Amino acid sequence: MAVWRIGLTLPEFFLGEFEAQFETHAVAVSTVLLEDGGEVAETPERLWRLYAYCADSAERDAVTALVFEAASRLDLAAPEIECQLVPDEDWAAKYGSEVWLLFAGRFVVHGDYLHPPPGRIALSINAGNAFGSGRHGSTRGCLLALDRIASTRRVQKALDLGTGSGILAVAIAKCWDGGGMGRADVLAADIDPAAVAVSEAVAEANGVSGSVRICQSDGFAASETGEGAPYDLICANILANPLRQMAPELVRHLAPQGIAILSGLLASQEAEIVETYGDAGLRTVDHIRLGEWSTLLLTY
């Protein structure tokens, strides 16, 4: 049995947009930085090779159509697409072994088989573990938001809702690790027990298991989330509808001078979330847009 591999080259600015489009139809999506020779300056024009692996010709055709639709919507010249029938493999392992680095402000996300460049906060995440490798626009937006506030916000207690792989919980723990802005104790929560197991392993692999606790919780349902309140920082990278529904509870769990980072929403949903949280008592102080994805920073 074989699968189709579709490859195209894109500027970094549009990478997350195309990845998100492919996730519905592809068995796996992976990216490779085309530039070599050590750390390369992070720029929107930097080129990446994007691969989508499809189980059959129908999915191949769907992904190919999405490429042209996205290029037209973004006013890009239609990229050259390479389609190749390749032997079947363990695609989770294949996905995890692709060589990639992702830069987001002071953070660099990397597989544990790579040595990240010095001078950054390294987050070791294997993409094959799923639940969030950092390359999706919503996760990367949260990392950029953390980078923006790390030098100005003191954080001692933090909550990461919908932690997935645990990447944001690890980022928070490493950002606030006892320096001038404090040392953060992080509670990471997820409704999925598999995600809880993954995030525990990721926290240990990154050397922050002493600062990060993980619990299974549907939003704020678990007692641990209430016991740790109020939080100086709450990060919720989920979806627009649950963000809207949990607004009153999230605000109740946030410290008076705390800040909330909300993501997992499309730019078209941003105004509604801003209004919902405004009615609950928070004001928007900043936002980050990566393609169609929006990340909001809110406080009292």
Residue written as token pair 């906060």: 121
pLDDT of residue 46: 77
pTM comes to: 0.71
What is the C-alpha to C-alpha distance for residues 10 and 4, in angstroms, rounded to an integer? Answer: 19
pLDDT of 23: 65
Q: What is the pLDDT of residue 130?
A: 44
> In this structure, what are the phi and psi dihedrals at residue 151, rounded to the nearest 5 degrees?
-95, -5
Residue of 289, 232, 295 lying closest to 261 (CA atoms): 295
pLDDT at 287: 94
Q: Can you give the pLDDT at residue 33?
A: 72
Query: How many CB atoms within 10 Å of residue 285?
Result: 13
Contact 10, 79 (CB under 8 A): yes
pLDDT < 50 stretches in the chain: 36-40, 99, 128-130
Tokens 């939080």 correspond to: 231
Q: Which domains does the chain have, with CATH numbers?
A: 2-99 (3.30.70.100), 134-299 (3.40.50.150)
